[in-house]
């Protein structure tokens, strides 16, 4: 098949969003009239060394910590007891120590830091609960220490206050094993790479560092291979003879860790939520179109697949392929979204071309970011998402970009701009994005995806309604 699916050796482009998106809280967005409002979505700690030591299940709470103290649970490689104020009195040294503790867990198997529990220095056992007032200000202050001391940022860091009715208690900080390890701590020209060995923090040597980077690159290669397999699997269900397609795949770097699969009702709710959020992400000047919203029957009646739910716009006979749009919602948080844009505009002025439309690219980018947000919210996903957007066709005809032709307030089209380029081969767009908590964040990622798609044709997204970028090269 003539399609731009050659394997790329470059790393996915990193999309930076405001620092608040690096928190252990995602933002839950509720529809409220003509606007969305933000409230915090806490990510509860349901699996930790404390759970293991006590043989407990469920959400970590203050009662479990008090029981761990009563039973004298020892510190381990993935559990660190800290007194009620272990970092602040030490000034900059304390801030450096906190960054070191976070990096050490992230560079190992992950773990939990519990502030407000004293330990017996001789045995390493929890000895006393030292409750203090746990406030949001404490979390904000501690998070603010990390950006200048810890690189790259640790995804999925969770601060969980475990308190009584008077906000007195302890603060549990869950640090997941990071897919971006090794993480460096340091400032200016001094840096080092800590890791946990038993209950101690040690520093990586040169050969440890070599292995850590080799493991990171292997994880990236595995993620890229997974995206390629997801795309290949989806293509077999798409009718490439009916026209060309835009195909998007997305995968969390930290997949959902749950034995409970998404229910049919979950899949429907996720798709409906993503569709409702579209108006808050799509700029006013961009031609409105939707991928998910038009799949009414498919959204209401998703069909089971291998550890996923599959949605199509229209019912498909067993021997037929999908002709318009296609969605996969995987139980681990992965997503496939596909839209046919060719076959609708066979015009005399662009014979023998595979047309890619402005509305198709914009709709795919917007709906994909909203699906990622809705699915992340349902599965409590943390960390980055790896995204790939590609084009697929069933022949070797070049791709041509179509967009509206404007004359003052009058819009004609679509047509192929004289200044655009046709493409024999398309370079897949790869992005790595942090959690997208607000409509503005999702709009920025959608604009970046749209730009990377369109600029290969010599087109800038602001030419068909997207706002001008804040930086000239994006």
**Structure confidence at residue 1 (pLDDT):** 44
- pLDDT bracket for residue 39 (50, 70, 90): very low
2-6, 178-182, 216-220, 411-415 — which is least confidently predicted?
2-6
What's the order of all strands across the beta sheet hosting 150-151?
Answer: 150-151, 184-187, 190-192
59-63, 136-140, 396-400, 463-467 — which is least confidently predicted?
463-467
pLDDT one-digit tens code per residue, 338-377 = 999 876 555 556 678 899 998 899 999 999 999 999 999 8
413 touches 254 (CB < 8 A):
no
How far is residue 144's CA from residue 136's CA, in Å, rounded to a whole number? 12
Q: Pick from 38, 36, 40, 72: which is nearest to 53 by CA? A: 72
**Structure confidence at residue 176 (pLDDT):** 87
180 touches 219 (CB < 8 A):
no
Name, of 82-96, 198-212, 290-304, the range with top average pLDDT: 198-212
Instruction: Pick 63 or 16 by higher pLDDT.
Output: 63
Percent of the chain with pLDDT over 70: 85
**Structure confidence at residue 437 (pLDDT):** 77
**Structure confidence at residue 15 (pLDDT):** 61
- pLDDT bracket for residue 220 (50, 70, 90): confident
How far is residue 67's CA from residue 44's CA, in Å, rounded to a whole number? 19
70-74, 234-238, 406-410 — which is least confidently predicted?
406-410
**Structure confidence at residue 76 (pLDDT):** 94
Taking the CA of residue 319 as centre, how many other CA atoms within 13 Å lie in the half-sphere pointing to its CB? 0
268-287 burial, b at 16+ Cβ within 10 Å, e below that, comes to bebbebbbbbbbbbbeeebb
pLDDT one-digit tens code per residue, 298-335 = 888 999 999 999 999 876 677 788 888 999 999 999 99
Q: Whole-model pTM?
A: 0.75
CATH class belonging to 49-204: alpha beta
**Structure confidence at residue 14 (pLDDT):** 62
pLDDT at residue 181 is higher than 80: yes
In this prediction, residues 369-389 reach a mean pLDDT of: 90
**Structure confidence at residue 35 (pLDDT):** 32
Q: Would you list the domain boundaries of the chain? A: 13-41+224-464, 49-204
Q: Pick from 451, 356, 436: which is nearest to 3 by CA? A: 356
How far is residue 233's CA from residue 130's CA, in Å, rounded to a whole number? 54
* Residue 40: partners with Cβ closer than 8 Å, 6 or more residues away: 25, 27, 28
pLDDT at residue 89 is higher than 90: no
pLDDT at residue 128 is higher than 70: yes
How far is residue 357's CA from residue 342's CA, in Å, rounded to a whole number? 8
**Structure confidence at residue 370 (pLDDT):** 95
């Amino acid at each position: 098949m003539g399609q731009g699916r050659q394997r790329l050796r470059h790393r996915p482009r990193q999309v930076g969003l405001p620092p608040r998106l690096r928190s252990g809280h995602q933002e839950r967005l509720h529809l409220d009239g003509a606007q969305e409002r933000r409230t915090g979505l806490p990510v509860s700690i349901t699996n930790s060394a404390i759970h293991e030591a006590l043989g407990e299940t469920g959400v970590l709470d203050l009662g479990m910590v008090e029981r761990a103290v009563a039973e004298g649970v020892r510190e381990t490689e993935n559990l660190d007891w800290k007194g009620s104020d272990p970092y602040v009195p030490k000034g900059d040294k304390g801030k450096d120590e906190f960054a070191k503790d976070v990096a050490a867990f992230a560079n190992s198997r992950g773990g939990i830091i519990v502030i407000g529990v004293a330990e017996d220095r001789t045995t390493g056992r929890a000895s006393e609960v030292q409750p203090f007032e746990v406030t949001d200000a404490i979390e904000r202050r501690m998070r603010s220490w990390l950006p200048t001391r810890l690189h790259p940022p640790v995804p999925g860091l969770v601060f969980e206050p475990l308190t009584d009715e008077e906000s007195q208690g302890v603060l549990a900080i869950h640090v997941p094993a990071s897919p971006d390890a090794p993480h460096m701590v340091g400032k200016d020209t001094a840096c080092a790479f800590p890791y946990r060995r038993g209950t101690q923090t040690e520093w990586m040597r040169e050969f440890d560092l070599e292995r850590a980077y080799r493991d990171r690159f292997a994880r990236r290669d595995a993620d890229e291979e997974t995206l390629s397999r997801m795309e290949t699997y989806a293509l077999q269900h798409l009718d490439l003879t009916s026209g060309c397609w835009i195909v998007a795949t997305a995968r969390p770097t930290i997949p959902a860790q749950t034995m409970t699969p998404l229910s049919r009702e979950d899949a429907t709710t996720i798709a409906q939520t993503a569709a409702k959020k579209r108006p808050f992400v799509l700029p006013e000047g961009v031609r409105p179109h939707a991928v998910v919203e038009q799949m009414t029957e498919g959204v209401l009646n998703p069909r089971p697949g291998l550890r996923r739910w599959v949605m199509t716009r229209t019912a498909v006979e067993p021997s037929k392929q999908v002709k318009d749009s296609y969605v996969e919602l995987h139980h681990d948080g992965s997503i496939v979204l596909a839209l046919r844009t060719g076959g609708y505009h066979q015009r005399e002025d662009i014979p023998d071309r595979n047309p890619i439309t402005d509305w198709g690219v914009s709709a795919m980018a917007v709906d994909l970011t909203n699906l990622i947000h809705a699915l992340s919210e349902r599965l409590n996903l943390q960390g980055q998402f790896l995204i790939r957007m590609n084009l697929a066709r069933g022949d070797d005809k070049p791709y041509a970009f179509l967009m509206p032709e404007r004359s003052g307030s009058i819009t004609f089209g679509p047509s192929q701009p004289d200044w655009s380029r046709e493409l024999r081969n398309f370079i897949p767009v790869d992005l790595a994005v942090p959690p997208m908590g607000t409509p503005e964040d999702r709009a920025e990622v959608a604009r970046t995806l749209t730009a990377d798609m369109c600029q290969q044709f010599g087109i800038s997204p602001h030419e068909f309604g997207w706002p001008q970028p804040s930086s000239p090269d994006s």
